Amino acid sequence: MEDIRIRYYSKTGNTKKIAEYIANELNLKALSIDQNDYNSPCGLLFLGGAPYANIMSSKLREYANNLIKENVKAVALFTTSNWSRRTVRALKKILREKNILVYDEFLYVHMLAVNGAIEKTKLFVKNILEKYKG
């Protein structure tokens, strides 16, 4: 799984927790986007973040803007929030404009359901891996 990375931006810890669920499923480590490693190549990037006041974080936007097609083959998105999936839509737009493959399927977990989302996360990872390897 060395060609897979998990990166996230989290202010409240909810998105970090989902990133850690993904990491546990893949036996990898999830890292905050603060690591600024957008230039290290990978096959599959799990990328997560949530809207804050219904707007995507400027740090997450910057990270997405710095990704390049030559370094990222495919992206699977995940988000946590009270109700909005706006961050996923915004990330899809940014990445697709760069011709980076972004899977239509994404993981949304309500911010109050994060602690009970392990099985939902496992299913998401399984589905993405089938698409990625298939």
pLDDT digits (tens, 9 = 90+) for 13-58: 999 999 999 999 999 999 999 887 777 889 999 999 988 877 889 9
Which residue from 116, 102, 134 is spatially nearest to 14, judged by alpha carbons? 116
The structural domains of the chain, with segments of one domain joined by +, span: 4-133
Q: 3-state class of 39 per DSSP?
A: coil
CATH code matching the domain that covers 4-133, chosen among 3.30.70.260, 2.60.40.10, 3.40.50.360, 3.10.20.600? 3.40.50.360
CA angle in degrees (0–180, nearest 5) for 16-34-126:
40
Is residue 75 within 8 A of residue 105, CB to CB? The reply is no
Which residue from 28, 102, 30 is spatially nearest to 69, judged by alpha carbons? 102
pLDDT above 80 for 11 = yes
pLDDT digits (tens, 9 = 90+) for 61-118: 999 999 999 999 999 999 998 888 889 999 999 999 999 999 999 999 999 999 999 9
pLDDT tier at 1, thresholds 50, 70, 90: very low
Is residue 103 within 8 A of residue 74, CB to CB? The reply is yes
As to burial, measured by CB atoms within 10 angstroms (0-12 exposed, 13-18 middle, 19+ buried), residue 89 is: middle
pLDDT given for residue 37 in this prediction? 77
pLDDT given for residue 98 in this prediction? 96
Say what the pTM is. Answer: 0.94
Q: Which residues on adjacent β-strands are paired with residue 47?
A: 7, 77
25: Cβ contacts below 8 Å, ≥ 6 apart: 121, 122, 125
pLDDT given for residue 134 in this prediction? 65
pLDDT above 90 for 126 = yes
pLDDT given for residue 74 in this prediction? 97
Residues across the chain = 134
